[in-house]
Copies of this chain bind each other. A is one copy, B any other.
Amino acid sequence: MITIAVDAMGGDHAPRPEVEGSVLAAREFGVRVLLVGQPAALRPELAKHADPNAHIEIIPANEVITMEDHPAQAFRRKKDSSVHVAARLVRDGKADGMVSAGNTGAVMTVARFTLGTLPSVDRMALAAPFPNAKGGVSVLLDVGANVDSKPEHLEQFAVMGEIYYRVTFGSRRPRVGLLSVGEEEIKGNELTREVYNRLKESPIHFVGNVEGGDLFSGDVDVIVCDGFVGNIALKICEGLAVQIFGLLKKSLKSSLASQFGSWFSRDAFRGVRKRIDYTEYGGAPLLGVRGVCVIGHGRSNANAVKNAIRVAAGLARARLNEKIKSELSAVVARA
């Protein structure tokens, strides 16, 4: 049975959604969950669930890393945090993967130094799934594990992202694109032009440069970029979605007719919100670390936590890291 360690203290509303999501995941996916955090906070939450699955266990961790903590300081000073304990469970083979909806920077730092990176991996990458216009999911990476990436790093991100996509979204031969400012080979900056040349020669299904709009077009499955660009892209998407829905809400309240109309349209709105809701897609895996680590949004609800556990269990079951090791070593040998 696959075992996932869940940082139960990390999210904005912790530990409630973490506990509920874990109960749901244990029930639906047949995984064992180690709920890591302060027992006094976790026990009453767990007791709320009529059938606290036998496959859930509380693992004590006394400290809590907050969203305000500085990642490097939190890593050094809060060694007994739920993030540290979850990472050590993975490192020591007591869990097959970890899930956290906590401070992304801190989780990345703890994972990096506690678990280390895989052989042939120079830098880890955070991969974010996006719903696309064709009803599928496209994945953007790196969305913030690195800045100032070198061409070889982006090549590694492409290989890792392709494997994650294959394993998680059931595509045999995902289309991999390079985020740039035009489709032609010569378009882009110094970095992307060199990455283009590398990917052209690689065994993955490289479809060339793609543009910002292709995050949603559904014409490409995996989109590779430096973490500086990817992080800005991710935050633009969040900001714009909030902005559009905020304007719609305000506008729909502005007249009696539209208020009346919106009452009838509410299911349609909910449907769209659900479609673009990151929580459905199971969080962002941190690729390249020794062990499985999936990071959820701080606002994660129980459904988001449940789906993140599903994704982490799937990556562990599919032996993601063994695939990364063997396929990356082939790329390195070719270089």
**Chain A interface (Cβ within 8 Å of chain B)?**
132-133, 144, 147-148, 179-181, 188-190, 192, 211-217, 225-229, 231-244, 246-248, 251-252, 254-255, 257-258, 260-269, 271-272, 275-276
This chain: how many copies in the complex? 2
- Decide: B239 and A268 in contact? CB cutoff 8 A: no
- Decide: A251 and B272 in contact? CB cutoff 8 A: yes
- Decide: A240 and B216 in contact? CB cutoff 8 A: yes
Main secondary structure of the interface of A (DSSP, over half): helix
- Decide: A247 and B275 in contact? CB cutoff 8 A: yes
Residues of B within 8 A of A212 (CB): 231-239
Residues of B within 8 A of A179 (CB): 232
- Residue on B with the closest CB to A189? B147
Residues of B within 8 A of A228 (CB): 180-181, 188-189, 192, 229
CA–CA, A214 and B242, complex, Å = 12
- Residue on B with the closest CB to A144? B181
- Decide: B233 and A213 in contact? CB cutoff 8 A: no
- Residue on B with the closest CB to A245? B244
- Decide: B254 and A258 in contact? CB cutoff 8 A: no
Residues of B within 8 A of A239 (CB): 212-217
Residues of B within 8 A of A247 (CB): 271-272, 275-276
CA–CA, A235 and B233, complex, Å = 10
- Decide: A258 and B264 in contact? CB cutoff 8 A: yes
- Decide: B241 and A244 in contact? CB cutoff 8 A: yes
- Decide: B264 and A260 in contact? CB cutoff 8 A: yes
- Decide: A248 and B232 in contact? CB cutoff 8 A: no
